[in-house]
Chains A and B, each alone.
Chain A
């Protein structure tokens, strides 16, 4: 019996360790999901996206690797909603990795599914530059609208039931103390 309990207890521990271990491996050594060479004003860079398509409301790592590693670039990324996406632009800072390649790293997220533009803004010895990279953000499968309304409106039936119960309960209370000047049901 004790062995069974121990075995059952070990399952969540192993699962947690597995999740932690796989998460670390991905963060430290994974290759980018997509890489694009872009001209950001005067600077030629590789823009790496570590999840493509990005998933809605999930942090995605991005890196900017300049072809000329001597450039000391600074910059930020703005994600702008594309056509048909109802959202607001968001800004994320890029920070230097501090290695010989001069790579900048940042983490972005997009809160709504659909078309977005990742706008890379860089500043360096040759001035400022901007480039735009379109992406499509994926989302979980949509439940039918009618099902959403069915779930969302279901508590209203409880309210109707509650009102009905209250009316009956009031009659019980009135019957218990009829002397009080309460509402008479006409």
Chain B
């Protein structure tokens, strides 16, 4: 029997080991960074809700209020981490380290090489940081109660949205790299840790939408005003649900996102009133209206339940499609129809849950003392419904588009 012996070529095995170690350290660097960023994201989410309540109950007495400290330390932390990551990845790319190549990075400005997600996240954080002093300037000029839809609020929010989506890219690209390399990874409910991370970020994205929805514009058409707050609810839900389904290919993830969201709002609602009481006491401040003091509110805490039925519908259709090997949920048209189907429950349930939370909970708000002719409603209701359904369908198609990219993108 012939025996074959393999002799190591001098220098080769140490090189392979070095490459493996380098690849591992690369993986570790990216993954530790993104989990730390996720922590910052939760911190920023709490800060955003706290800030909204601080404005309502205490007022904006200066820039460095406790909620602002929380928000901007989160933004600065994420921004600095993303910047550091981009620089480190560029150096490692130029040194030809294992795991840092054209498959796992994108080129930016012809010089930098880094994972797309970190680039997007860093850009979002930068945008929010640029918006901060401009927003302060706007408040100095026009007062503390300028609505959410002030120009530099919009700029900051856009930055936040970009940053959050960037984090999904990082989790998703790492998961895609694992999938392509067929690396074994532990799973919980059929999802890897990286996929759980991406779902947590999507849950935070929906929470980010909930934070400002009551301050959406209320345009008036003659004596009839129409609240637009269901718009962001519908778009974020359809986008996140279909995006998550397309990314993970697992029915049930939409329900998981709603569960995260519910935990998040419960925790926030437990924390914020207490935090305001403590901060006001410590700083010797007074409430704007001494008769209005923050307290735990079940209505806000349970607000994510408006997404329960839509999540069940999305998951149910996905499961049915997988079991019957159907094209339902796989074509643009069917995804759009799913978006259409899940829109009405959100639009109808939101005012119902919010009825004791806000005066502006109804969608159609007749101006007091004025008679609204029935013809107004005949025109307004179908127009509003068409816009909502259109937004729902668009959100779902967009989510599916992004979900497909998250599924396959390794860069």
Contacts and interface: CB of A to CB of B under 8 A. Distances in A.
Interface of A: 56-57, 85-91, 109, 111-113, 139-140, 142, 148-149, 151-156, 158-159, 162-163, 166-167, 169-170, 173-174, 176-177, 180-186
B63 interface: yes
A113 B141 contact: yes
Nearest to B128: A155
B142 A86 contact: yes
Contacts of B158: 155-156, 159
B401 A183 contact: yes
A85 B140 CA distance: 10
B330 interface: yes
Contacts of B59: 87-88
B279 to A, nearest CB: 14
Given A148-B138, A170-B404, A183-B335, A87 B143 contact: yes
**Nearest 5 CB-CB pairings of A with B:** A86-B143, A152-B151, A88-B59, A148-B151, A173-B408
B400 A113 contact: no
A7 to B, nearest CB: 32
A109 B62 CA distance: 9
Contact of A183 (B134, B154, B246): B246
Contact of A180 (B127, B137, B407): B407
Contacts of B403: 183
A29 B298 CA distance: 57
B127 A112 contact: no
B155 interface: yes
B200 to A, nearest CB: 21
Contacts of A85: 143
Contacts of A91: 284-286
B140 A139 contact: yes
B176 to A, nearest CB: 10
B145 A86 contact: yes
Contacts, number: 126
Nearest to B249: A181
Chain B interface size, as a band, is 35 or more
Given A109-B62, A186-B331, A166 B140 contact: no
A3 to B, nearest CB: 34
Contacts of B138: 148
Given A109-B62, A151-B151, A155-B162, A183 B144 contact: no
B141 A152 contact: no
Nearest to B287: A88
Nearest to A76: B284
Nearest to A92: B284
A149 B142 CA distance: 14
B383 interface: no
Contacts of B61: 88, 90, 111
Given A148-B152, A182-B407, A89 B286 contact: yes
Contacts of A111: 60-63, 139-140, 144
B205 to A, nearest CB: 14
A109 B64 CA distance: 13
Interface string B357-375: 0000000000000000000
A163 B120 CA distance: 13
B332 A87 contact: no
19 contacts: A86-B143, A88-B60, A91-B284, A91-B286, A112-B141, A140-B141, A151-B151, A152-B134, A152-B155, A154-B155, A155-B127, A155-B155, A156-B158, A169-B409, A174-B408, A177-B408, A182-B330, A182-B407, A183-B401
B154 A186 contact: no
B318 to A, nearest CB: 11
Interface string B280-316: 0000111010000000000000000000000000000
